[in-house]
Amino acid sequence: MDKPDLTRRQVLSGIAVSGGAGALTGRGTTGLYSDGELFTNNSVTASTSTAGVVDLDVAVDSLGDADGLVYTVEVPDLANNNPSYIWVQPVTCPDPIDAADDVNVELRVECPDSDETVTIGEGTLRGVIDGLRTNAGEPLRCSGETARCFEPGENVELVLEVTGSGTTEDFAFELEFYAEQCRYNSGATTPFDSLAQCDTGDETTPAKGISWIAFCSGSDVALAPTIHDPGDFDDGAPRSLTWETTSGVNYVVVKAGQNFTIYEYSSGNTTTDTVTTGGNDDADFYGSEPKNNRSSDPCELAAEKFGSGSFSSSGTSVKLEWDEENETFTESS
């Protein structure tokens, strides 16, 4: 049986907290969000099956009379849409993470056409996000249900309310909504993989050694990458190195353990730089992607995070893999 087509919506959200008092206005850290905006440009296709497509609309608004955000998630009433289960999982951790223990929140589902609410997370902002990450997400559901099958045209509200705060920090994070058609599925199995808990700046997780590094150019050019000065080794693989190419690149993607460190070079003219694993001020750091081994398409991953969502078909990509026995990087076939 083919797995049904799935559509995700990733929504960048903000929580502005001022001592737990006053109205909150949701906002995205890059200006993506205004009250009631529909996120029509944040979808990625997760399957190439020919089964019925499950599409989602996601709008974000401020809670109104309290500090918080309302995510209104709808299965559009379209001819090719099917009744669907809807799951949510945080893609990123609250930023700044070190203050996320100073904010208490309740995450609840407010069901359509009723006064029912189901609390799916309660505690500190960091604790609620960590719970969803380690539990591989939660289904949006109403009282007495393990999961709810939403009909086309039906919507549901996921409410994140700030119940107390000891900080004036602003927080940003990203949620991912995932729709799975009810037909052939029970709604009992999460479509996500578990993610690691969020680390604060006081918690140091040693970075893993680099298993491969990929170079991505949006143009049809020769890259011929070379590696210099690999160092700071972990279990036989380097955590840092300097690279050089004969032509400019748009992205460099580094895989270490289950994580990706992605460098963006918007000009496309950069031909040398130094990379380190585990995230740093010059790069973005991502955990392993749900239900995907992104090692097979690192340039597509970079384009999803930074570009138009798809790496150019006329572009050039080269991946170098670490050869521990010979202590060198070799081009992957």
Q: Per residue in 134-155, pLDDT tens?
A: 888 899 988 778 888 888 888 8
**Residue 98 or residue 251, greater confidence:** 251
Over its C-alpha atoms, the chain yields an Rg (Å, rounded) of 21
Secondary structure class of 74 (helix, strand, coil): strand
Does the pLDDT at position 39 exceed 50?
Answer: no
User: Alpha carbon of 239 to those of 232, 250, 322: distances in Å?
Assistant: 5, 22, 11
Does the pLDDT at position 120 exceed 50?
Answer: yes
Domain 7-181 CATH assignment equals 2.60.120? yes
Instruction: Check residue 136 and give its pLDDT.
Output: 86
* Mean pLDDT of the region 82-91: 86
- End-to-end Cα, the chain, rounded Å: 32
Per-residue pLDDT tens over the stretch 189-216: 888 888 888 875 544 455 678 999 999 9
Instruction: Check residue 77 and give its pLDDT.
Output: 82
Does the pLDDT at position 34 exceed 50?
Answer: no
Secondary structure class of 179 (helix, strand, coil): strand
Confidence of residue 26 (pLDDT cuts 50, 70, 90): very low
Instruction: Check residue 13 and give its pLDDT.
Output: 62
Instruction: Check residue 221 and give its pLDDT.
Output: 95
Does the pLDDT at position 103 exceed 80?
Answer: yes
Instruction: Check residue 210 and give its pLDDT.
Output: 92
State both tokens at 194.
Answer: 């578990």
Instruction: Check residue 74 and give its pLDDT.
Output: 85
Choose the weakest-confidence range: 154-163, 171-180, 249-258, 310-319.
Answer: 171-180
**Residue 65 or residue 145, greater confidence:** 145
Q: Within 13 Å and on the Cβ side, how many CA atoms surround 185?
A: 26
Confidence of residue 20 (pLDDT cuts 50, 70, 90): very low
Q: For residue 328, which amino acid is it? A: T
C-beta atoms surrounding 130 within 10 Å: 21
In the chain, what are the domain boundaries?
7-181, 210-331
CA distance 60 to 162: 16
Return the percentage of the chain with pLDDT > 90, whole number: 23
Q: Tell me how many degrees the CA angle 240-243-244 measures, rounded to the nearest 5.
A: 170
* Mean pLDDT of the region 237-262: 90
**Residue 140 or residue 5, greater confidence:** 140
Confidence of residue 47 (pLDDT cuts 50, 70, 90): very low
CA distance 304 to 322: 25
Choose the weakest-confidence range: 30-34, 42-46, 169-173, 201-205.
Answer: 30-34
Q: What is the full DSSP assignment across 236-301?
A: TEEEEEEEEEEEEESEEEEEETTEEEEEE-TTS-EEEEEEESS--TTSEEE-PPTT--GGG-HHHH
* Mean pLDDT, the chain, integer: 76
Confidence of residue 296 (pLDDT cuts 50, 70, 90): confident
